[in-house]
Structure 1
Amino acid sequence: MSFTEADNSISEGMGMNGTSWSCPNDTLGLAMMQNGLSSYRRNYLQAGGVSYFIGDYAGPHQTISYRPERIGEIQYNALIVKNVLAGLNFQHINNPAYNSARGPVNIVSFRVHAEF
Structure 2
Amino acid sequence: MFTEMDWSVSAGISVNGWSWERFADTVGLAFNLGGLHGPQRRFLAAGGSGFILGDGRLAYAPEAVFEAFYDARLAPGLHAAADLQLVVNPGFNADRGPVPVATLRLRAAF
TM, length-normalised to structure 2 = 0.93
Letter in 1 for 2:34: N
Runs of 4+ displaced beyond 4 Å:
none
Greater Rg by CA: 1
In 1, Cα distance between equivalents of 2:90 and 2:69: 20
The total of aligned residue pairs comes to 109
Letter in 2 for 1:86: A
> Which residue of structure 2 lines up, in the alignment, with residue 17 of structure 1?
16
> Which residue of structure 2 lines up, in the alignment, with residue 48 of structure 1?
47
1:90 equivalent among 78, 81, 84: 84
RMSD: 1.2
Q: Is the 8 A contact 1:51 1:57 kept in 2?
A: no
In 2, Cα distance between equivalents of 1:89 and 1:68: 22
Q: Is the 8 A contact 2:85 2:102 kept in 1?
A: yes
Q: Give the fraction of aligned pairs with identical amino acids, expressed as a percent.
A: 39
Q: Is the 8 A contact 2:63 2:91 kept in 1?
A: yes
Q: Is the 8 A contact 1:17 1:28 kept in 2?
A: yes
> Which residue of structure 2 lines up, in the alignment, with residue 38 of structure 1?
37
> Which residue of structure 1 lines up, in the alignment, with residue 61 of structure 2?
67
In 1, Cα distance between equivalents of 2:70 and 2:33: 22
Q: Is the 8 A contact 1:9 1:35 kept in 2?
A: yes
Q: Secondary structure at the match of 2:19?
A: helix
Cα deviation, 1:36-90, whole Å, max 9, x if unaligned, reads: 01101011112232222023333xxxxx211000110001000011110000000
Deviation at 1:9, TM superposition (A): 0.2
Q: Secondary structure at the match of 1:43?
A: helix
